[in-house]
Amino acid sequence: MPQIQIPSPLRQYSGKQASVDVPGKTVGEALTGLVSLHPDLKRHLYTDDGKLRAFVNVYVNDEDMRYLEKEATALKDGDTISIVPSIAGG
Amino acid sequence: MATLSDVKPATGQPEAVLSNDEILRYSRHLIMPEVGMDGQQKLKAAKVLCIGAGGLGSPLALYLTAAGVGTLGIVDFDVVDYTNLQRQIIHTTADVGRKKLDSAADKLKAINPFLNLRTFDTKLTSANALELFREFDIVADGTDNFPTRYLVNDACVLTGKPNVYGSIFRFEGQASVFATEDGPCYRCLYPEPPPPGLVPSCAEGGVLGILPGLVGVIQATETIKLILGQGDSLVGRLLLVDALGMKFRELKLRKNPECPVCGTHRTITKLIDYEEFCGVRGVEAPVTASSDVPAISVEELKKKLDAKADIFILDVREPHEYQICNLNGYLIPLGDLPKRVSELDSSREIVAHCKMGGRSAKAVAFLKQAGFTKVHNLTGGITAWAERIDPKMPKY
């Protein structure tokens, strides 16, 4: 089952979990599974019209999904999805 | 991997000759072939501009100065305060109240009298960034907000200066090198900033004191490698630092051909209004009375409590904030309010408060929608109470 890594700014919406195992054949399916498991995450990941937010990047292993097949990117067992939101602290 | 040959402009100027005192000082550099006399002279000839003398700027400026970077510019307009000292190690307790630039200048000059320090007591803006950046070879971004991050990036792309990037939040950090000739820029990574209110700042969310040390030293390392033209730089890679798990990971970064500032069809060819672009938002600001959120001042609340009025104080902060100081209120964190609203009695007079008044204004708005009529927001929050009613109460 693919594992989704949750960054610390978003863990307050994932029941404090740093990673969540979610079934899914594609990145889109896994992310949909994630937000149905943790509905509070939804407005942080998606805009009101259901598009993934531009400041939230999603990586499959170490590759940006924008340069793969985006949400349609196929997943295989052991793949890690990372959600990497922008942070600005200094 | 990118090395100096990929990075414009080359910084080494052979005329930067080292004195005998400098040769002794930089001995541990000079005996390594990767630095040597050539490299040390490149460092001396280099001009690095550090944006901010805060958490990231502290280790950056200290190490670049110690390493022998010849000219260091620092842009900052802030004053040292007590909450800075947990992580901004260039400043000391005695510096509280001083300009960060003055405080930093003392330490840097003490570390290395050969440093040519240039301080810029100003906010970096679209009006001054390009002119400023043109005088330097490399820009190190140690700012703490999204508008300035995008400003630094765009100004670096427009002036052709590498942007040595680092940012931090709580236990996590990011570092990379942006805006080299063939490499991606910050906008390739994040085309748009988060909408206001969705990503908390360090002032709201906190940050582990050592984290800017870890990330700032990575920025200093990348800066020095760019100057020396040695090693594999972080161009094209985003380094993620997780201090809690003590894990370092890297992700691939690509230059986005559709990037509005560095792509093939550029739509941003001059600096824009970055506050507007990011929908401006600072730290949680004190919320004043407004028509839809009825408010009460700390003085009025004190008077009512002294008169033994029946008031239910609702504290909507987090439990760890309650431990720091409280008004004996009933604690329901803002995020839990919708599912715990049945614990509240709508027939009683309720005063909601948080740290500064922002979260409790949202709580009051929510309660009003839920049918509560006797609910007020404590203007300025518990901070105003500590400042104006109970000076013995700690502020945080």
Rounded alpha-carbon distances, angstroms, from residue B235 to B164, B166, B231, B250: 9, 13, 11, 11
A82 CB within 8 Å of a chain B CB: yes
B255 CB within 8 Å of a chain A CB: no
ipTM (interface predicted TM): 0.92
Q: Is B22 helix (H, G, I), strand (E, B) or coil?
A: helix
Q: A62 CA to chain B: closest CA distance, Å?
A: 5
Name the residue among B207, B240, B252 with its Cβ closest to that of A63.
B252
Each residue of A16-67: pLDDT tens digit?
899 999 999 999 999 999 999 999 899 889 988 988 988 889 999 999 999 9
Q: Give ranges for CATH 3.40.50.720 in chain B.
A: 4-277
Location of structure tokens 């990497």: A84
Q: How confident is the model at residue B12 (pLDDT cuts 50, 70, 90)?
A: very low
Q: H or E stretch including A45? A: helix A42-45
| B313 vs B191: CA distance, rounded Å | 43
- Per-residue pLDDT, averaged over B252-272, amounts to 95
Residues in A touching B189 (Cβ below 8 Å):
57, 86
- Per-residue pLDDT, averaged over B70-75, amounts to 98
Q: Which of B31, B13, B15 is nearest to B23 (CA)?
A: B31
| B198 vs B388: CA distance, rounded Å | 31
Q: Searching chain A, which residue's CA lies closest to the CA of residue B202?
A: A89
Q: A71 CA to chain B: closest CA distance, Å?
A: 17
**Two tokens, residue A50:** 């259901």
Q: H or E stretch including B143? A: none
Q: Searching chain A, which residue's CA lies closest to the CA of residue B215?
A: A90
- Does the distance separating the beta carbons of B252 and A90 come in below 8 Å? no
According to the CATH classification, is domain A3-85 in 3.10.20.30?
Answer: yes
Q: Where are the domains of chain A?
A: 3-85
- Per-residue pLDDT, averaged over B123-138, amounts to 98
Task: Answer yes or no: is pLDDT of B89 > 90.
Answer: yes
Query: Please, what CATH class does the domain formed by B4-277 belong to?
Result: alpha beta
Task: Answer yes or no: is pLDDT of B225 > 90.
Answer: yes
Return the number of CB contacts < 8 Å for A and B: 95
For residue A34, what pLDDT is reported? 96
For residue B2, what pLDDT is reported? 46
Report the predicted TM-score, pTM, of the whole model to 2 decimal places: 0.85
Residues in B touching A62 (Cβ below 8 Å):
249-252
Task: Answer yes or no: is pLDDT of B80 > 50.
Answer: yes
Q: Give ranges for CATH 3.40.250.10 in chain B.
A: 295-388
A62, A65, A66, A87: best mutation site toward chain B, by most B Cβ within 10 Å? A87
Each residue of B366-375: pLDDT tens digit?
999 999 999 9
CATH no. for B295-388: 3.40.250.10
Task: Answer yes or no: is pLDDT of B280 > 70.
Answer: no
